[in-house]
Amino acid sequence: MSFETTFSYLLGGVFLASAILVVTRRNPVIAALYLVLNLFTLAGLYLTLHAQFIAVIQVLVYAGAIMVLFLFVIMLLNLGDEQRLKERLSLKKLIAVGLSVGLLLQLIYIVGYLDVTLPEGKLSQGVEIGTVEYIGKKLFTEFLFPFEVTGIILLVAIVGAVILAKKRLD
Amino acid sequence: MSVETYLLLSAAGFIVGTIGVLTRRNAIIVFMAIELMLNSVNLSLVTFSAYLGDATGQILVFFVMCVAAAEAAVGLAIVIALFRNKQTVNLDEINILKW
């Protein structure tokens, strides 16, 4: 097994383990820190897929901006007494977990056993399509209109967040 | 790793996020689980993009990230507003829209 393969399996394992830890930890701060680990391993997985631009954006936007926002809100709300938020094991939750695992089995069946014939391709050929130059060119020519709309979405989100978090809602 | 392995990893991450959304009662952890689901979908998009040698998948990931950032900002603002009104982030106690 080559170094790259070993590395990507390691990243995959950490990705899955940290995802499970995010969902199971009771303390939101610890869950947020595991989510940071999860996002970093995902950036590593993007690198193994030769998507450098997406990997950098992943670290900048998620680990840099969104997680800081999460941690700020957790600490702003000062969720001291976690006893009140004790998660009870109920039949509803067991059914939810059962349905989700059923969905996972279906997905595994689709990916693994159904033998869907993917068109010819290779995972290693994308070395030049993941660069900032290539994606930038595509983004500012072919996908210019969606790119502009993205700016409007972000503006609306900023205005909405400010209005929602304001002290008085009148 | 093969393309199937990446897709299975993505599916597993998505399901872990789904279980988190369905079972946790802390609104902030539910948000984190939603981020987990979005990221898992991004992984399969990047996988197909690398496999097919087409950058369109990666550009879609770029837009998904923008929407995720907007969603996180607005969602956390809603959490703050709710906490200010009800002093809790327990989703079982937030039932003012329940008929």
pLDDT digits (tens, 9 = 90+) for A34-43: 999 999 999 9
φ and ψ at residue A143, rounded to 5 degrees: -110, 35
Q: Is the pLDDT of residue A122 over 80?
A: no
Do A164 and B78 meet the contact criterion of CB atoms below 8 Å apart? yes
Cβ–Cβ gap A70/B72 under 8 Å:
yes
ipTM confidence: 0.90
Return the amino acid letter for B53. G
What pLDDT is stored for residue A114 in this prediction? Answer: 65
Q: What percent of chain A has pLDDT over 70?
A: 84
Q: Which of A19, A135, A146 sits opposite B16 (nearest CB)?
A: A19
| pLDDT for A78 | 73
CB-CB under 8 Å, A15 with B9: yes
Say if the Cβ atoms of A135 and B54 lie within 8 Å.
no
Contact at CB, A156 and B28, closer than 8 angstroms: no
Q: Which residue has the higher pLDDT, A15 or B98?
A: A15
Q: What SS3 state is found at B90?
A: strand
- Tokens linked to A85: 């938020």
Nearest Cα of chain A lies from the Cα of B55 at a distance, in angstroms, of 6
CB atoms within 10 A of CB A47: 19
pLDDT at A156: 93
Do A20 and B16 count as a contact with CB atoms less than 8 A apart?
Answer: yes
- Residues A3 and B20: beta-carbon distance below 8 Å: no
A163-170 long-range contacts (CB < 8 A, ≥24 apart) are A164/B74, A164/B77, A164/B78, A164/B80, A164/B81, A165/B77, A165/B80, A165/B81, A169/B81
- Residue B90 backbone dihedrals phi, psi, to 5 degrees: -75, 120
Share of chain A above pLDDT 90, in %: 36
Higher pLDDT, B96 or A151: A151
Residues B76, A45: C-beta atoms closer than 8 Å: no
User: Rounded to an integer, what distance in angstroms lies between the CA atom of residue B18 and that of residue B36?
Assistant: 9
Name residue B26's beta-bridge partners: B90
φ and ψ at A158, to 5 degrees?
Answer: -60, -50
Q: What is the pLDDT of residue A84?
A: 55
Q: Please report the pLDDT score of residue A86 as a whole number.
A: 62
Cβ count near A81 (within 10 Å): 7
Please report how the helices B27-52 and B3-23 are oriented relative to each other, as an axis angle in degrees rounded to 10. Answer: 160
Position A88: which residue type? R
The number of residues making up chain A comes to 170
Q: What is the mean pLDDT of chain A?
A: 84
Chain A contacts of B83, Cβ < 8 Å? 77
Q: Could you tell me which of B34, B47, B46, B53 has the C-alpha nearest to residue B3?
A: B47
Measure A118 CA to nearest chain B CA, in Å. Answer: 9
What per-residue confidence (pLDDT) applies to A117? 63
pLDDT per position as a tens digit, A57-106? 999 988 888 888 888 888 888 766 555 556 667 888 889 889 999 999 99
User: How many other C-beta atoms lie within 10 A of the C-beta of residue A41?
Assistant: 20
Output the tens digit of pLDDT for each of chain B's 99 residues. 788 888 899 999 999 999 999 988 888 889 999 999 999 999 999 988 888 888 888 899 999 999 999 999 999 998 888 888 887 778 877 777 776
Q: Does residue A50 carry a pLDDT above 90? A: no
Residue A159 clears pLDDT 90, i.e. is over it: yes
Provide, as residue numbers in chain A, all residues whose Cβ is less than 8 Å from the Cβ of B37.
none
